[in-house]
Chains A and B, each alone.
Chain A
């Protein structure tokens, strides 16, 4: 596997490829060196992001390494050596390629006309370029039942398989889920799962993408289109905040699939299944396609006028702070900026929050020294997982971190509230219960970190039941020791939304309200008179009648905010304006609904956890009259008597570059020049205001647990009730049921059987769930899952409490 983070070696190796002298790097494989020199050697099993195995023999070329003279050797297994002579066009090479292909085709069914891979198939391409024109094989080919589902998402056709070991290597080496394996031997070797144990990996879609034949196909794309009918745009996945590079492929204005693109800085070509198959949601029948007012379809002009009236009335009644804006992590950077400008300048309210009470304070996150993914994954480095489980929330970051630990000797330390997807890889684990002891766990972890090595902390919100102040204090333990941070806030463009000022007390460019007051007053005309409040306080104000209008920017607080009762009270009193792509339960309560264009339907940029600006491109048109969020913002501004001053996403970017301290210098030419995206780390300069500085630690309150109670921990899974998952045909069936998990010793105390129903009772509500013993749960805590449809736990919670204690009642 190519290790991209090594420092470039000082010496090179001189080799000759097809008569041309080139300089290769020591240890580089012949196939890689030839590729860089512009000589493509055909291959099936070799993949630059996995270890070579020399399985398919397609890359045999004449190699003369001195000594024994030229001979056929697999170029994916032979490192370059000084004076080596490689001939990829010799008569012997051609004969070998011809012969290997004839062998590979012996059992291949040649059903290309009905095969999804036809037209983009390496076996097809290599056969035409290097193979025999005719087969001499007249015997019966081997037959298997075809195709068989090996998971909900992937079908396997064993007749087409050429046993290249790519999918099985991916499952074992990259994903760490060896649920598919070679079985049998000789001519009867096949790839398969264990009986009744499906290939239920979060990353199974990658095997479909890297399969060099049509053996693995995805259930979602089967028989949908031919490659030559697809139009594609390069874009970025916004399913979470990792920012994987993708190509979006569509046919007849329908988005059909998303394929990973190898971005060396981010995803290495991989995608998680939630990102890959989540794009289907764009085509969902449940998409909002026309505006509505009071539940009835309306024209845009009427809906916008009504929305503007509601906002103007609220401002007249109680000033700008009578309006609150919740959400924005779904938006592009440009739309987030437009909405920030609308809210903070035109309306004048600072009650704006892109997070739904389940994240971390914006100033705190933006002030921490940031690491890149490559820095986090540096060989021999140290990675601390603080309150996060990347496998469940940031799938491809998990793949990168796993690679760092398994292949590059990084040390993993886990600090959190119980076992997660990376616990088995962790050298040290410090588990605690919510309520303050996380800080002690962080101090213990700091004490065991290897000295003198860079430390990267992947910082997430461990559990929505815990006061974020605890997490902040724990993070500062590492920050003060010089660690750098990757914020694991998982919503699509949450980092971009925060950068653009969709947070209370912030202005675009990671600038605090007071620091940027004079600069933005001249740039925008006006800024809010004082700092606003976060989502929890906005909802409270709405419930108290102090906030008359709530604008939901792609937010679904009823399901996502960790206090359902409060959301309900807020919605009962405030008028809701929803700008969204789907009719979720929160949108259903809205007075005015404005349909927005979704991912794949808009141009712009997005920002990942590193602060990397990545491009978004439009592949299809939005349904009905849905339009980009920034256009909705400009239209609303017009009706409020203001002009936001831009007419395209590109113009908005120009303005962002001109006013945002953190984005100074990142003009469109700079963005276009790099394929891997560009980190926004500009520190302003000139007249621009200073960006937020390193936060300081303030001790969080420790909340002791009384002996009769258990402390609630709420965890997230990859597949939950999220809108994108629920509206993607492939993913909708994948979320599991909710359950309650206890430490085995606590479980014993209940005297029940595994799977028996118990009622979890908090001071605010109760829910009945099956109970299981789980050694990965900390003693004295119970774990439930967040946002599982039909079993939501957010009515157990109250946003006003730093912890949630529950009792378990067993019905007998």
Chain B
């Protein structure tokens, strides 16, 4: 896809200005790129490299370390199905199998309409509610095949799921993959914490050689 749009580049510059060193802004900027395109494209990484004055190789080094940065396009809805032990004992393998058949794709792939990607993931920390899955990182607890079909059916027809995801607020809204927040953080210039020059700060005591 593409470099950051002019609007997003302006946001990127604001984010960069919050940090004493430009490259410290890299992870928020990767989120911004993923929010724009749904994934982090090579061109976006090149653009970020220019903005924070590092090489593209350094950007991809950081980006590829984090599972949640996708470097290939994924569906509008990223469905992560946990198959670790607690979920597995309560039917996660069957759930994953059902999901693969229902969507006609293997885990790790995206439906041809670009709506859904299924991933077989490690523990997502909701063992008490097993088996569980997330859609764009919104939790659905104690899910069976029927629940999965209902969620997919709702999303496919453009509705928010009838069954609300846990802890998503009253409307249960699931924004497209990559969306960080509905309200963007904006720090007015007069309220930005002063950026001390890290090189002129005294070294911490524990770094002093004996």
* Interface residue? B206 (CB, 8 A): no
Among B42, B46, B60, B209, the residue within 8 A (CB) of A183 is B60
Once the chains bind, are B57 and A193 in contact (CB under 8 Å)?
A: yes
26 pairs, CB–CB < 8 Å, chain A vs chain B: A26-B209, A79-B209, A81-B210, A177-B55, A178-B54, A178-B57, A178-B58, A179-B55, A181-B58, A181-B60, A181-B61, A182-B61, A183-B61, A183-B64, A183-B65, A185-B64, A194-B42, A194-B45, A194-B55, A194-B56, A194-B59, A195-B42, A195-B60, A197-B55, A197-B56, A197-B57
Among A79, A178, A184, the residue within 8 A (CB) of B55 is A178
Quote the shortest CB–CB distance from B14 to chain A (angstroms).
24
List of A residues within 8 angstroms of B60 by Cβ: 181, 183, 194-195
Known: A178-B57, A180-B57. 15 other contacts (CB 8 A): A177-B55, A178-B55, A179-B57, A181-B58, A183-B60, A183-B64, A184-B64, A185-B64, A185-B65, A185-B66, A193-B57, A194-B46, A194-B55, A194-B56, A195-B42
List of A residues within 8 angstroms of B64 by Cβ: 183-185
List of A residues within 8 angstroms of B55 by Cβ: 177-179, 181, 194, 197
How many B residues, CB 8 Å from partner?
16
List of B residues within 8 angstroms of A180 by Cβ: 57
CA of A194 to CA of B45, assembled, Å: 9
| A-B residue pair count with CB separations less than 8 angstroms | 42
Q: Which residue of B lies closest to A183 (CB)?
A: B64
Interface residues, chain B, with chain A CB atoms under 8 Å away: 42, 45-46, 54-61, 64-66, 209-210
- Considering only residues 162-204 of chain A, those with a C-beta below 8 Å from chain B are 177-185, 192-195, 197
List of A residues within 8 angstroms of B66 by Cβ: 185
Quote the shortest CB–CB distance from B194 to chain A (angstroms).
24
List of A residues within 8 angstroms of B61 by Cβ: 181-183
CA of A197 to CA of B210, assembled, Å: 44
Quote the shortest CB–CB distance from B64 to chain A (angstroms).
4
List of B residues within 8 angstroms of A195 by Cβ: 42, 60
List of B residues within 8 angstroms of A197 by Cβ: 55-57
Quote the shortest CB–CB distance from A485 to chain B (angstroms).
31
* Interface residue? A27 (CB, 8 A): yes
Quote the shortest CB–CB distance from A358 to chain B (angstroms).
33
CA of A79 to CA of B207, assembled, Å: 13
Quote the shortest CB–CB distance from A789 to chain B (angstroms).
29
CA of A183 to CA of B59, assembled, Å: 10
CA of A183 to CA of B60, assembled, Å: 7
List of A residues within 8 angstroms of B56 by Cβ: 194, 197
Quote the shortest CB–CB distance from A144 to chain B (angstroms).
14
CA of A592 to CA of B59, assembled, Å: 58
Once the chains bind, are A194 and B65 in contact (CB under 8 Å)?
A: no
CA of A642 to CA of B203, assembled, Å: 71
Q: Which residue of B lies closest to A182 (CB)?
A: B61
CA of A179 to CA of B59, assembled, Å: 10
Query: Could you say which of B46, B54, B57, B65 has the most chain A C-beta atoms within 10 Å of its C-beta?
Result: B57
Quote the shortest CB–CB distance from A337 to chain B (angstroms).
47
Given A181-B61, A182-B61, CB of A27 within 8 Å of CB of B209: yes
CA of A185 to CA of B63, assembled, Å: 10
List of A residues within 8 angstroms of B45 by Cβ: 194
CA of A509 to CA of B65, assembled, Å: 60
Once the chains bind, are A181 and B209 in contact (CB under 8 Å)?
A: no
Quote the shortest CB–CB distance from B42 to chain A (angstroms).
6
CA of A183 to CA of B66, assembled, Å: 10
Pairs A-B, 9 closest by C-beta atoms: A181-B61, A194-B56, A181-B57, A183-B64, A194-B57, A185-B65, A184-B64, A178-B55, A179-B57
